[in-house]
Chain A
Amino acid sequence: MSARLRGYALFAGVAALALVVAPLVLPAFRLDELAKYLCFAIAALGIGLAWGQGGMLTLGQGVFFGLGGYAMAMYLKLHDADGDLPDFMVWSGVEKLPALWKPFESPVVAVVAVVAVPVAVATLLGVLVFRQRVRGAYFAILTQALAAAFGILIVGQQALTGGTNGLTNFYDFFGQDPEADSTQRTMYYVTAVVLGVLYLAARQLVKSRFGRLLVAVRDGEDRVRFLGYNPATVKTVTFAVSAGMAGIAGALFVPVVGIISPSLLDVVPSLELVVAVAVGGRYTLAGAILGAVAMNYAKTSFSEQWAGGWLYLEGALFIVVMTLAPKGAIGLYEQARDALARRRAPAAPAVPVGKEAAA
């Protein structure tokens, strides 16, 4: 069996595990939690693309997650209100539906906006900053500031956004009660399939000519420019794709968890996503997914055992990974595998880990 075939067999195996075994063995409540982790994994996949492959350390991915989530939640709120004002607007003393909300009465507009708004914002930002050759720490700080500002904006505009409460209490998700077990099960399948499809698409992108160019931009932006390519375009497109993924993740999160609020999109959750990607292994897309699922699982189970201790552990884990295993869990796995291969066949030439990691 060729290596490629083996790869596909494995993917099929994982897909079967996620789509058949997990729903059978997990109680409904744990399956819903797994769906939540998969939402974060979708956003992490985008970070894996932008940061791992493209070298753009984006600390503001929560903004795009939030834009997608709010787009979906605004539609659900209006749909539930059925012509009236959403409940929180009544409490805030709003008398007429704000113009910003009007388009979201249509489910089509909302679903399109879930991807289109984050992509548009990221494209605009990308065009502005990458052309000016803003990169490295400056880009990271800029995205983080964006996340902070967005959080403050959402909290401050309570009449428009629901403020710190966020948007919650949805009754009808495309004809289903979002809190019903059957809907949650369906949402799990949808999320898992979306993640699988996006993973394959991102994989294809990385393997394409564009992907090679992207890695080249990461490793030597000036050289790429001398060769006649425009790194700004490559980076902007990648950043927009990663923003679109975060938007989709946010939109799926709303029916899965039943709430979107500013605490999901400002600085801390954005950082947590990046930490998860680093822990999983940022140079592979699978590492990003692994990191997001494992870290969020750890967060849930750890906080059930030792309330309040999770943040310390997460911080410590990040420091340990950054100093001892900068390629994350996947990097460790590859190192171990290569060491094993070398021992088995001492004559074979060793493959440098770095080269493989990008594949």
Chain B
Amino acid sequence: MRKPFLRPLAAALLVPVAMLSGCGGDSDGTGSGGSGGGGGDTIKVGVLHSLSGTMSISEVTVKNSELMAIDEINAKGGVLGKKIQPVVEDGASDWPTFAQKAQKLIKKDKVATVFGGWTSASRKAMLPVFERNKALLWYPVQYEGLESSPYIFYTGATTNQQIVPALDYLKEKGRKKLYLVGSDYVFPRTANKIIKAYAKANGMQIVGEEYTPLGHTEYSTLVNKIGEAKPDAVFNTLNGDSNVAFFKQFRSAGYDAAKLPVMSVSIAEEEVKGIGVDNVKGQLVAWNYYETTPGATNEAFVKAFQSKYKGAVTSDPMEAGYNAVHLWAAAVEKAGTTDVAAVKKAAAGISLDTPEGKVTIDGENQHVYKTARIGVVQPDGLIKEVWSSGKPIKPDPYLKTYPWATGLS
């Protein structure tokens, strides 16, 4: 006797289709409010960060500060008289998931804009989705530059607001022999390409360049290599957990900030806690904002954040995420609508007093003017500013205004 063999397959396909069509129904219900997330008396915005997986430790805090900014705006009556309603999604530290969730936020939730991403990989994965759907993304983290999508606003630093000032500082201090250490992905590789071009033009010497996989924890060989190369300073573009292992093994090999300074560009207040203050105290970092940055706006920001999240520290990417929400709201108010083209146009030249000081949106490349700050890690885990550019630096993602950088992009 033959069995009706295809029956299980029928079941296999029926169930999810039925479930999916259920979703389709409710999306029609919520989506009917109008385009651009502006229907009814709320405006929907997407918040898309990794809430699970290896990046969650960093990204959850950015999500929190973005939600806090939304609350602040809502408490003052919202934008265009409407409350902002955040739709939070999890990118799960997985780049394809970022692309899919971005698509969901744009197409199903019909959000007016999205705040999200941390790693360059997640931004690169989301970029085509935003460009093709003509939707807006606000990306809050310092990155490797060489990008300027018309549908992304970059509120973190580009290279000439972080890496180049860090090199200027090292040069000023007479550190001429650099050893480059980085995680093996696009940010460190591009950053080091820029560093090498800078060194060539400024009479500095690169005595070593090493990459380790993300999540790598064995650094004794590398520390030995650094010792043999005898550099004046180490330029560190390691990301995440690797910093913990690197600084521990660096210190147990007998190095400290006085003997061999390390300039890091991915270590903020959050990470200092994870690495252990003892391992990293006295070392240099380059950012645009520290919890200790002076000013009434920052005091209010730190106070508000710490009363909401007990024992939390504030850091540069969080602050850039917080700024992104306020900058978007200001652009929407100016445009009088959430329409993407109008908001993009209105955003050009908008200037706000933020915790890091005055930031202004550059309409041409959609980055922001930011003040560069070099800091030293203090024994209490906070970071003290030792040098600053004094005024906001014009963003130049392709380093067009730097003669030594020709041919990089």
Contact = CB atoms under 8 A, between A and B. Distances in A.
A218 to B, nearest CB: 19
B341 to A, nearest CB: 19
A303 B92 contact: yes
B266 to A, nearest CB: 15
A13 interface: yes
B9 A163 contact: no
A294 interface: yes
Contacts of A301: 19, 23
A26 B5 contact: no
Contacts of A10: 4, 6-7, 9-10
A6 B4 contact: yes
Given A17-B13, A29-B104, A7 B5 contact: yes
Contact of B16 (A155, A260, A294): A294
Interface of B: 1-17, 19-21, 23-24, 27-28, 51-52, 56, 88-90, 92, 94-96, 99-100, 103-104, 107-108, 119-121, 124-125, 127-129, 132-133, 144, 146, 184-186, 189-190, 193, 213-214, 409
A289 B9 CA distance: 8
B17 A17 contact: yes
Contacts of A359: 3, 5
Given A88-B186, A293-B16, A261 B125 contact: yes
A326 interface: no
A301 B23 CA distance: 9
Given A14-B13, A92-B186, A163-B184, A30 B128 contact: no
Interface stretch (A106-114, A119-127, A279-287): A279-287
A239 interface: no
A294 B104 CA distance: 19
22 contacts: A3-B4, A4-B4, A7-B4, A7-B6, A14-B12, A21-B17, A26-B17, A27-B24, A27-B107, A32-B103, A36-B100, A37-B16, A156-B213, A165-B186, A166-B121, A177-B132, A259-B95, A259-B125, A289-B12, A293-B12, A304-B104, A308-B52
A169 B131 CA distance: 10
Interface string A52-93: 000000000000000000000000000000000000101111
* Interface majority SS (helix, strand, loop, mixed), chain B: helix
A165 B6 CA distance: 40
Given A7-B7, A177-B132, A308-B52, A26 B24 contact: yes
Contact of A286 (B8, B120, B144): B8
Nearest to A5: B4
A150 interface: no
A26 B92 CA distance: 25
A164 B124 CA distance: 11
Given A26-B21, A169-B128, A286-B11, A152 B121 contact: no
Contact of A156 (B8, B11, B89, B184): B184
A229 interface: no
Q: Which 8 A-B pairs have the closest CB atoms?
A: A290-B12, A307-B90, A308-B52, A179-B132, A286-B8, A29-B107, A286-B9, A7-B4
B8 A165 contact: no
A8 B6 CA distance: 7
A290 B24 contact: no
A287 B5 CA distance: 11
**Most central of A17, A37, A177, A304 by chain B CB within 10 Å:** A304
Contacts of A26: 17, 20-21, 24
Interface in A167-203: 168-170, 177, 179-180, 199, 203
Interface in A245-262: 257-261
Contacts of A155: 184-185, 213-214
A356 B3 contact: yes
Taking residues whose C-beta sits less than 8 angstroms from the other chain, chain A's interface range is 35 or more
A284 B8 contact: yes
B121 A290 contact: no
Contacts of B89: 303-304, 307
Nearest to A312: B52
A263 interface: yes
A158 B88 contact: no
A105 interface: no
Contacts of A158: 184-186, 189
B58 to A, nearest CB: 14
Given A11-B6, A28-B107, A22 B17 contact: yes
Contact of A33 (B7, B9, B100): B100
A292 to B, nearest CB: 9
A356 B184 CA distance: 51
Interface string A321-334: 00000000010010
A199 B92 CA distance: 32
Contact of B8 (A2, A34, A287): A287
A293 B15 CA distance: 9
B4 A258 contact: no
Contacts of B124: 165, 168-169
B144 to A, nearest CB: 8
Contacts of A28: 107
B184 A258 contact: no
B13 A263 contact: no
Given A18-B13, A280-B12, A163 B129 contact: no
Contact of B52 (A8, A168, A263, A311): A311
Contact of A258 (B7, B21, B99, B189): B99
A241 B186 CA distance: 36
Contacts of A345: none
Given A168-B124, A289-B9, A307-B88, A93 B186 contact: no
Given A14-B6, A18-B17, 17 more contacts: A7-B4, A7-B7, A10-B6, A10-B10, A22-B20, A90-B409, A152-B213, A165-B95, A166-B96, A257-B96, A257-B100, A259-B95, A297-B16, A300-B100, A308-B56, A310-B52, A359-B3
